[in-house]
Amino acid sequence: MKKRSDRMSLLADLAERKKRQADQFLADSRARVTRDEATLAQLEQFLAEYQQQLQHKGRQGVAVDQLLMARAFIEKIESTLRQHREAMKTNREQLEQVEQYWRQTYGHLKAMQKLTDRALDQERADAEKQLQKALDERSQLIRPPFI
């Protein structure tokens, strides 16, 4: 039969693999949120620049059909911004869930490592007791020459 520490070590290894997987999920989720923020900034900047250009052209005079097309384009950009913000909200919520999962797997790993360490310590203590018992028994069997 395997030692308790060996069995615990297998469970600790499994917990380590789950933690590495959680690390990857966390990194991916954080990267997604970072990309979302960068994309949002780009979209907002593009919209501001386009509106500024439109205002500049408007001062010089713009045909009604061009103004209507520009307004429709701006509405599409604003719609895209709304959709992107919704996606960002979902990704942030997912990040929170992944962070919670990561904390759980990290806690589980630490618990398994502590249990494995305790099992090893107990096995060492038991081995020392057995060795001391064997030494005590042996010393009782050997009679001193003066008796």
Neighbour-count burial for 71-91, b at 16+ CB within 10 Å, e otherwise: eeeeeeeeeebeeeeeebeeb
Question: Looking at the 3D structure of the chain, how many domains does it have?
Answer: 1
pLDDT tens across 7-25, in order? Answer: 888 888 999 999 999 999 9
79 assigned to some structural domain: yes
Tracing tokens 């590495």 back to the chain, one arrives at 20
pLDDT band at 2; cut points 50, 70, 90: low
- Asked whether the predicted pLDDT for residue 1 surpasses 50, the reply is no
In a domain, 17, yes or no: yes
Query: Is residue 15 in a domain?
Result: yes
CATH number reported for the structural domain that contains residue 26 in this entry: 1.10.287.1700
Structure tokens, 78? 């604003």
Is position 146 within any domain?
A: no
Q: Report d(CA 18, CA 111) in Å as an integer.
A: 13
Q: Which residues contact 62 (CB under 8 A, 6 or more apart)?
A: 54, 70
**How far apart are alpha carbons 77 and 74 in whole angstroms?**
5
Q: How far is Cα 20 from Cα 102, in angstroms, rounded to an integer?
A: 9
Structure tokens at 15: 């917990």
User: In the structure, what pLDDT confidence band is assigned to residue 66 with cuts at 50, 70 and 90?
Assistant: confident
Span 76-134, pLDDT tens digits = 999 999 999 999 999 999 999 999 999 999 999 999 999 899 988 999 999 999 999 98
Cα gap 75→72, rounded to integer Å = 5
- For 121, the domain range is 4-139
